Chain A
Amino acid sequence: MVDIPFDEVAGIPPAEVGEVELYHPHSWWTRYVFSQDAKVIAVQYSITAMSIGMVALVLSWMMRLQLGFPGTFSFIDANQYLQFITMHGMIMVIYLLTALFLGGFGNYLIPLMVGARDMVFPYVNMLSYWVYLLAVLVLVATFFVPGGPTGAGWTLYPPQAILSGTPGQDWGIVLMLASLILFIIGFTMGGLNYVVTVLQARTRGMTLMRMPLTVWGIFTATVMALLAFPALFVASVMLLLDRLLGTSFFMPTLVEMGQLTKYGGGSPILFQHLFWFFGHPEVYIVALPAFGIISDLISVHARKNIFGYRMMVWAIVAIGALSFVVWAHHMYVSGMNPYFGFFFATTTLIIAIPTAIKVYNWVLTLWRGDIHLTVPMLFALAFIITFVNGGLTGLFLGNVVVDVPLSDTMFVVAHFHMVMGIAPIMAVFGGLYHWYPKVTGRMLNEALGRFHFWVTFIGAYAIFFPMHYLGLLGMPRRYHDIGETTFVPASAHDLNAFMSVAALIVGFAQLVFLFNIIWSLFKGKEAGSNPWGAASLEWQTPETPPGHGNWGKDLPIVYRWAYDYSVPGAAGDFVPQNEPPAGLATQGAHP
């Protein structure tokens, strides 16, 4: 690579490497379909993720219909109920949230926010999407194979996951594991790109401690994913071998339908360890990008710099590191050595410290800020509330003695939906309303957005807040039909019906959002280049939507962090990251 000796400007070091030529598309196909442009790949990722997410939404309706009105709907039998649960969880956690945050937001925002022209290896990045799409198609195929998708629960615990009592034992589980393996391969290709772009392809002046927190969140989550997905990969390969070749990695000696199986000597707990070594970091893989996005939304829409930027960064890194040593808190009732429970409860509760730092900093950013209650800001505020709510119940469940009676009840379902279901989805929506103008050049409709927000937010609480109470009553999760019990009063069934109605309404509200996205694409208000008056780099592109290569002729030079809002003495109420300090002529920037 040829070094281009750009002069030093105002303490900004000269460019270390020359620019790498981009691949320029020649045809419609290479421009929009097999595109190597991270922005197009981001949109492809987002559309695919949201489409499969709609499938998972419909599955959740099916579950709620059955729970709210048991026996009313003949098309939902016990096997299908388990299949719906499994696919709903798997799709939402991996194929929607992980793909949307890292593949969608990551691809779009990382190059723009760090001032790069594209990801470092655009071709590999393109492959990443196509392998992801293949994984999604294999996943969808499970709905159409004999026996249907697997009903093992999203954790796919052996031995039941591959025994004949579980629905989808023939084809479903095999395709599910194949799809996961494909997803991991595809994600690795993309994830390597995101990490190297952040570490090695920043523009002049963009130090790590000047990056917007969104990039920090996505970056840390990607590093975690690259280290956590291997455990799921290995677990999937071994479970697949158990199912197809008859090995006994996870299968103990057991009797199935009165017959001694061919299996023997394996350890089901080993699978749980591998799964949760992936599974717990996974929670933070979807939470950290949300943390980052929310930090930026709050700062922009409260016109105030983020409070405690450095602590926010270190909290993200600390949460990422700690999340690798807490996995067994998902296994308190699995039959571990009790001393393990003590260790993992301690580490789990320690995570509350960096997380609480973040929440306090969000609130302190809002304090005496010039809060604009725009739609993204509404979603950001909803995120904080929902996340605190889910985090507090996490403290309950992190303690062994409290967790044991609450295990496998609706309380757990309420907890993780609040903390890693609703909260990250709030960040997704906030982020979509915030960056849609940059992606399309048009604003999303404000009135429809507010309607979408209030129905979704209140509706989500209507679904999941009463669920805590049902859990405390002892109502178990993953049950097709509770039936008559002494400990669940009749009124609880009314509550279930109420939650189901709320779930239907919230689901339909998402159609309003979809309509808004499509309608605004053509009829939305022209956004201009920086409708929110944001200081970070992605809003300073010469074109909106940004063109191929993002920055026109010259890369931007960054002189400050991304949070210069309401700076005393400044001309405007925000100072863009690439605006030179007062009195500095810009011509020095070019050779």
Chain B
Amino acid sequence: MTETTLAAPQTSPGTIPGLRGIAADWASDQRAFKHVSWGKAMMWIFLLSDTFIFSCFLLSYMTARMSTTVPWPNPSEVFALNLGGKHIPLILIAIMTFILISSSGTMAMAVNFGYRRDRAKTAALMLATAAFGATFVGMQAFEWTKLIMEGVRPWGNPWGAPQFGACFFMITGFHGTHVTIGVIFLIAVARKVWRGDFDVERRGFFTSRRGYYEIVEIMGLYWHFVDLVWVFIFAFFYLW
């Protein structure tokens, strides 16, 4: 304990490892999270807030499902497709999940190439991520259409508790909105990358702030979060 107090005052607090380092960072001036930019900090805190939104949605859904006196429709039956003469439960959802997880992979690669200032690969990978995302939303639209054709409505369905349709449309709709917003921003940021905005630190149109390749990473944080939320929706809504 006495050794560190004798350390040279020039030592950056961020270099102390472990819990003591965290304590030193929070006790220091200027920044509580050393080496974290404003934008990244803001995205993390926003995602924390958004976590509470999705948690409330999922908890409400679980409350409805556990307290209903009418049987809950069996998800593996409802979300089954007939492919090639075979009846495969949850096949569409499995493909959707695979696509969304894959998009996280391309996003992570885009972040990597962004920091290497490889404009072409970064932009291409971001567009690939956006394409995966758009495919996901498209398949969700297909799933919605199929269920609506089969008679599922927010206020009722042919198989059991009316809250099934209500929760399904609300939760997947809210998540799909997140994915859609992500796709739009992915395309916008990919365009900036392609044009070389971040190489010349060009100012944003509205914000008049300089742009950096870090924006690709911040975009990635949001995208991975949307993915992670889907994993929970998949587990709690489809697999339960």
Contact = CB atoms under 8 A, between A and B. Distances in A.
Decide if A and B are genuine partners. yes
Contacts of A120: 38, 42
Contacts of B86: none
Contacts, number: 150
Interface string B145-165: 000000000110000011101
Contact of B166 (A122, A123, A208, A241): A241
B42 A188 contact: no
B31 A199 contact: yes
B228 interface: no
Assign chain B's interface to a size class: 35 or more
B170 A265 contact: no
Contact of A248 (B32, B63, B163): B163
A238 interface: yes
Given A188-B49, A270-B60, A241 B38 contact: no
A274 B27 contact: no
Interface string A203-241: 111111110000000000000001101110111011001
B39 to A, nearest CB: 8
A11 B41 contact: no
Given A192-B45, A196-B41, A199-B31, A11 B53 contact: no
A547 to B, nearest CB: 19
Interface string A230-267: 11011101100100011111000000000000101111
Given A231-B52, A265-B69, A265-B161, A249 B64 contact: yes
Interface stretch (B130-138, B192-200, B206-214, B231-239): B206-214
Interface in A110-145: 120-124
Contacts of B53: 230, 233-234
A207 B41 contact: no
B30 A16 contact: yes
B30 A15 contact: yes
Interface in A25-82: none
Nearest to A205: B29
Given A238-B170, A267-B63, A209 B27 contact: yes
A20 interface: yes
Contact of B28 (A188, A207, A237, A274): A207
Closest CB pairs A-B (n = 7) = A230-B52, A247-B166, A234-B56, A230-B53, A246-B155, A123-B207, A120-B38
Given A200-B32, A265-B163, 18 more contacts: A20-B209, A123-B208, A188-B49, A192-B42, A192-B45, A192-B46, A199-B41, A200-B31, A203-B30, A207-B28, A234-B53, A237-B174, A247-B155, A249-B163, A262-B155, A267-B67, A270-B60, A558-B29
28 contacts: A1-B37, A13-B9, A13-B12, A13-B30, A17-B31, A121-B38, A121-B42, A123-B208, A123-B209, A192-B45, A196-B42, A196-B45, A200-B36, A200-B37, A202-B31, A206-B29, A208-B27, A226-B45, A229-B49, A230-B50, A230-B56, A233-B53, A233-B56, A234-B60, A237-B170, A264-B162, A265-B64, A265-B161
